[in-house]
Structure 1
Amino acid sequence: MYDSGNIPKGAFLLPLTLFLIVLILPLLRNFMQPSPNTYATTHLETNETKECNIFSGNWVPHPKQPYYTNQTCPFILDQLNCIKNGRPDRDFLKLRWKPHDCELPLFDATQFLELVRGKSMAFVGDSMGRNQLESLLCLLNTVAHPEDITAKHTSYDDIFFRWWFVADYNFTVTTLWSPFLVKFNDSDPSGRAYYSATKLYLDEADEAWSSKIKNFDYVVFSTGQWFFRPLTFYEKGQVVGCQKCQNSTELNFYGYKKAFQTAFRTLRNVEGFKGVAFLVSHSPEHFENGAWNEGGSCNRTKPFSLEERGVYESGDIVEALHEIQVEEFNAAREKGLRFGLIDITDAMAMRADGHPSRFKPGNKKVNDCVHWCLPGAVDTWNEFLLYLMKFEVEKHNNMLTTPKGVFLLPLTLLVIVLLLPLFKNLIQPSFEIHTSGLETKETRICNIFSGNWTPYPEEPYYSNETCPFRTDKQNCFMHGRPDRDFLRWRWKPRECELPLFDASHFLRLVRGKSMAFVGDSIGRNQAESLLCLINNVMKSVEADPKASSFYRATKLYLDEADKAWTSKIENFDFLIFSTGQWFFRPMMFYENGEFVGCQRCEKNMTELNLYGYRRAFRTAFRTVRDLNAFKGLTFLVTHSPEHFENGLWNEGGTCNRTKPFKMEERGAYRNGDILETLKEIQVEEFDVAEKEATKKGFALWFDRYI
């Protein structure tokens, strides 16, 4: 018999709700749609800025002459003046980037200068940024001559900081040399001491740019080449890791990622900065038959095809660097920074023909396969820049111009006011569900992880005498702990009640199912607690794997999930990840079978390198996502803190407190920063995995973090 008593009360509102949605969507669309006259005040044609991925495409023949020549532009450095230095071929000048789905407009110097009239622009980074700036100066020089005004700001002898001014448009442009974006200390300030380790202070932005960009309207970040050197990483004044140290030749991307994090955070926090930032993604080098100092060369006269691009020997490194940049770019933009991405990586990866190669002054035995000939492929970067600047102006003007749908706003708001209560009733779950025999009133949405510990006089769920599953190590009473106050506390969320554990309820939920705790002894700790809790209802069987040896350096293969769990979990219904404590040990990191970095691998190096921690979680979650047969739910238990005081575990450290920290004391806990960082990494990687699973149609695979 049909039981109307179990139908949610909001269900009767469904037809009316759907009807109102049908009414409101056209109104909202009209309200959100920009006015076609948005650009009436700018006199700039912007039809070409309609949505299109201009960075996905190919290089196609373009028989027309380049925008300028080495004879018409006075701003080309000798190092990049390939024609002057004897390059005989010209085919590299007869190519143009063609996006797959649209046209990339030619660079219009007049249009660019109108956009930047009365404004300023800074190129921040290494010589790749200077390469793009020199291209821009040559492009603008076809309309108005940029005057070198370096003497007003610094010495002409300072080759790393230059300033130009276009008087007719009151436009200032500069290059601010900062190869790492963060503070660094090199034994040779010129950067020519390639083999000595440079000190990078990853949590301090380089004042060479951070102290100067407050009043700039546009800031273009472009760097990456210097991160291939030997580096020593510092945070809070302490060594936290290194790259190409102890005879290792592999890269450690931790410093690269942290440098961009610090730079973007600094830009976001610069008081008074109201400008727009652009990130130019990593520019690939093209050495073949050896590295730059091993006779490597780049003698190609045609670009790679898409197929050849796929087997490019540095492709994996380029992809990893690009991925890090895009991740940090997206994170910064989500936090409110006005930010555009000039994604040149794929386009320039094909242009192995575009470098100075041996056609440069100085040592002919060392080829330049890093920088780009002028004129040449790098001019495309400024076509991208102008395209994005127009798009940014269009977006900004749309916000300032009254949309044609604004007159519908009162009616739209009225419908929303009517709709929301009905929709709320529709989606609010009934709290009288009886079909499963489980009370679910207490499961309504609430942040159960935000709260405090409160006194609770009741007895614990079990005792050391009633539960046979605890290892002796966790049996505090058996070993003589005298106090009992630590048992008389209970977690109280701020905005709701956390239900008591109901063993029968739990067992009904998991009837006919399976659960795996994957991780270290913290996961086993939780599993033993669970066994004790359900032991009041049903007996279970115990398991106890062991591990030891803290001081040996453990080899971690960061791109390979541990078969100890991956080979067993496809048919489990619940998967609970809980690990972290072992990542404090000495570690050697491997990827693709090659050594890529280490942690606590040098004498007196005691700080953590969190690169391995992040990559381990990323590999684990990716592995779960890619398991063909796994259809269960995944939970992540965030990092469980230790509480050693007056020393570490092996230095006489203790934890003799008999009461929990208060909120004020918690803030001063000495490991708080480390804990926050570890948790942040876990949650970030979990969220990424959840989004990727959603894209693949497996939205429920990654359900919650605990």
Structure 2
Amino acid sequence: MTTTRQHQRMRLLFRLSLVSVLTVGASRVALDYLRNNDVGIKLMPSEYTIRVPVEVSEEETIEDGCDVFKGRWVWENESYPLYEEENCPFLVKQTTCLRNGRRDSFYRHWRWQPDGCDLPRFNGIKLMEMLRDKRLMFVGDSVQRGMFESMVCLVHSSIPSSVKTSLRRIPPRKVFKIEEFNASIEYYWAPFIIESISDHATNHTVHKRLVRLNSVAKHSQEWGGVDILIFESYIWWMYKPTINVTYGSLDKIEEINVTAAYRVALQTWANWLDSTMNPSTQKIFFVTMSPTHLWSWEWRPGTNGNCFNETRPIKESSYWGTGSNLDIMGILEDILGQLTINVTVLNITQLSELRKDGHPSIYGERKGKLLTKEQKLDPKNYADCIHWCLPGVPDTWNEILYALLLQDYRVHVQ
């Protein structure tokens, strides 16, 4: 009798165990189906998937009449840099000066202080809220790519690690996606803005540069739906005093003065803006020329070097080197003055002129490779005095961009 009861209990326990296993299995199948088909039950959303209005305090507001592009560089060793080179995995070798062997790190600790007002502290979450469901795109050459990487690092370092991000390369674009905000920060390679034979994302070095002065059609297919566009084009025009141009047919190529070509190119771009952009939904910025520091005699008379071994900014606030072309600045002012839509100028030239210390020098790369020991011993010919180390000067450009976006948001939303 006892044996029979034991068998019955064993059968009952077996049936209960079987039912439990089948129930758990069925639940897992159902949950997998729901996840894969995006119906019914969903995982708990991140707190950042819910839109939160951005509050702009008085301290974050640029005072009326304050020109944020006029000021001075202030040594700030406690709260600068805003991120660390080793903590941002998105930097290319062209900008990782410390990793490439640069011993001094002074260039990372200078803060731009406008005369008469303060820049707001960069806040990645506030920027993401302003960019929610939007695209921000930097357009230009490798200097502009440095500004893109700076912005990506600023955002990456100031948002919680729980926020999902990704970087995809879709030549000639790079796309940094911030998932919870459905926002993207992008970069588009277009060194002349207009079409050219140097538009390939990686294979673009040519001895005889050729531009198509009357067309941005190929590029603009990628620009049209972008919410915030930041354009830049300068250093590629400065290769020689003249440049080869065409209006479409390769059978008819002319060689003309660079400044004349730049004016026509910028006019082509401006015509596209006027005919295509929607000023009520899209914002356009233009970054003025990024200065070079190729000749040390300009800031230290009697010397014959360049930016190599420079560790401090230039003190004279009105310094202007020959690496910045006044004719180009005048052309930009003329063309933008004719537009019917608003383009905000990020006039970074003067403040960057002072930063002879901020370039990679011999701690960068050439043609995709770090300099050899022999090349490093010849800074006169191999020092990179065009691009910028990161963290560094481009972070300030983005701090100003952030301040202007915050100001515009406050005016139109709050």
1:91 lines up with 2:109 in the alignment: no
Deviations 1:553-576 (A, max 9, x none): xxxxxxxxxxxxxxxxxxxxxxxx
Deviations 1:367-388 (A, max 9, x none): 1111110101110011111111
Q: 1:190 aligns to what SS in structure 2? A: coil
1:147 lines up with 2:157 in the alignment: no
Paired amino acid for 2:203:
S
1:181 lines up with 2:187 in the alignment: no
Q: 1:375 aligns to what SS in structure 2? A: coil
Deviations 1:303-344 (A, max 9, x none): 11226824x343xx4322222223322322xx1x23211110
Q: How far apart are residue 363 of structure 1 and its match?
A: 2.9
Q: 1:346 aligns to what SS in structure 2? A: helix
Paired residues of 2:213 and 2:247 also in contact (CA < 8 A): yes
Q: 1:80 aligns to what SS in structure 2? A: coil
1:326 lines up with 2:333 in the alignment: yes
Q: Aligned runs of 1:202-601 on 2, under 5 Å? A: 202-205=213-216, 207-208=218-219, 210-230=220-240, 231-235=243-247, 237=249, 241-243=254-256, 252-270=258-276, 274-288=281-295, 297-306=307-316, 309-310=319-320, 312-314=321-323, 317-332=324-339, 335=340, 337-361=341-365, 362-364=370-372, 365=375, 366-397=382-413
CA change 1:105–1:116 in 2 (3 A) is: same
Q: How far apart are residue 56 of structure 1 and its match?
A: 0.8
Gaps of 5+ in 2: 1-51, 298-303, 376-381
1:200 lines up with 2:175 in the alignment: no
Task: Say which of 48, 63, 69 aligns to 1:50.
Answer: 63
Deviations 1:88-115 (A, max 9, x none): 1121112111111211222121221121
Paired amino acid for 2:287:
V
Partner residue in 1 for 2:77: 63
Q: How far apart are residue 75 of structure 1 and its match?
A: 1.0
* Separation (CA, whole Å) in 2 of partners of 1:190 and 1:380: 30
Paired amino acid for 1:345:
T
* Separation (CA, whole Å) in 2 of partners of 1:323 and 1:73: 37
Paired residues of 1:233 and 1:255 also in contact (CA < 8 A): yes
Partner residue in 1 for 2:34: none
CA change 1:126–1:363 in 2 (3 A) is: same
CA change 1:325–1:146 in 2 (3 A) is: farther
Partner residue in 1 for 2:177: 165
Partner residue in 2 for 1:518: none
* Separation (CA, whole Å) in 2 of partners of 1:321 and 1:257: 8
Partner residue in 2 for 1:107: 122
Paired amino acid for 1:85:
N
Q: 1:76 aligns to what SS in structure 2? A: coil
* Separation (CA, whole Å) in 1 of partners of 2:116 and 2:401: 18
Identity %: 25
* Separation (CA, whole Å) in 2 of partners of 1:187 and 1:386: 29
Paired amino acid for 2:311:
T
* TM-score after normalising by structure 2: 0.74
* Separation (CA, whole Å) in 2 of partners of 1:385 and 1:266: 23
Paired amino acid for 1:255:
A
Q: Aligned runs of 1:693-704 on 2, under 5 Å? A: none
* Separation (CA, whole Å) in 2 of partners of 1:341 and 1:288: 27
Q: 1:71 aligns to what SS in structure 2? A: helix
* Separation (CA, whole Å) in 1 of partners of 2:126 and 2:350: 27
Q: How far apart are residue 63 of structure 1 and its match?
A: 1.9
Paired amino acid for 1:375:
P
Q: 1:150 aligns to what SS in structure 2? A: strand
Q: 1:200 aligns to what SS in structure 2? A: strand
Q: 1:77 aligns to what SS in structure 2? A: coil
* Separation (CA, whole Å) in 1 of partners of 2:101 and 2:334: 41
Partner residue in 1 for 2:13: none
Paired residues of 1:49 and 1:387 also in contact (CA < 8 A): yes
* Separation (CA, whole Å) in 1 of partners of 2:181 and 2:361: 37
CA change 1:102–1:296 in 2 (3 A) is: closer
* Separation (CA, whole Å) in 1 of partners of 2:277 and 2:124: 32
CA change 1:383–1:284 in 2 (3 A) is: same
Paired residues of 1:289 and 1:295 also in contact (CA < 8 A): yes
Paired residues of 1:185 and 1:198 also in contact (CA < 8 A): yes
Q: How far apart are residue 229 of structure 1 and its match?
A: 2.6
Paired residues of 1:280 and 1:343 also in contact (CA < 8 A): yes
* Separation (CA, whole Å) in 2 of partners of 1:206 and 1:296: 39
Q: 1:347 aligns to what SS in structure 2? A: helix
1:82 lines up with 2:97 in the alignment: yes
Q: 2:87 aligns to what SS in structure 1? A: coil
* Separation (CA, whole Å) in 1 of partners of 2:248 and 2:268: 13
Paired residues of 2:96 and 2:390 also in contact (CA < 8 A): yes
CA change 1:100–1:267 in 2 (3 A) is: same
Paired residues of 1:232 and 1:239 also in contact (CA < 8 A): no
Q: 1:134 aligns to what SS in structure 2? A: helix
CA change 1:272–1:57 in 2 (3 A) is: closer
Partner residue in 2 for 1:190: 203
Paired amino acid for 1:224:
Y
Q: How far apart are residue 271 of structure 1 and its match?
A: 6.5
* Separation (CA, whole Å) in 2 of partners of 1:224 and 1:264: 16
CA change 1:277–1:93 in 2 (3 A) is: same
Gaps of 5+ in 1: 1-39, 244-250, 399-706
Partner residue in 2 for 1:464: none
Paired amino acid for 1:352:
K
Moved more, 365-374 or 299-308: 299-308
* Separation (CA, whole Å) in 1 of partners of 2:307 and 2:328: 22
* Separation (CA, whole Å) in 2 of partners of 1:87 and 1:165: 31
- The structure, 1 or 2, with the larger RCO (C-alpha pairs under 8 Å, 6+ apart) is 2
Q: How far apart are residue 182 of structure 1 and its match?
A: 0.7
Paired residues of 1:184 and 1:206 also in contact (CA < 8 A): no
* Separation (CA, whole Å) in 1 of partners of 2:130 and 2:276: 24
Paired residues of 1:179 and 1:223 also in contact (CA < 8 A): yes
CA change 1:295–1:94 in 2 (3 A) is: closer
* Separation (CA, whole Å) in 2 of partners of 1:272 and 1:319: 31
Deviations 1:453-479 (A, max 9, x none): xxxxxxxxxxxxxxxxxxxxxxxxxxx
Paired residues of 2:106 and 2:312 also in contact (CA < 8 A): yes
Paired amino acid for 2:410:
E
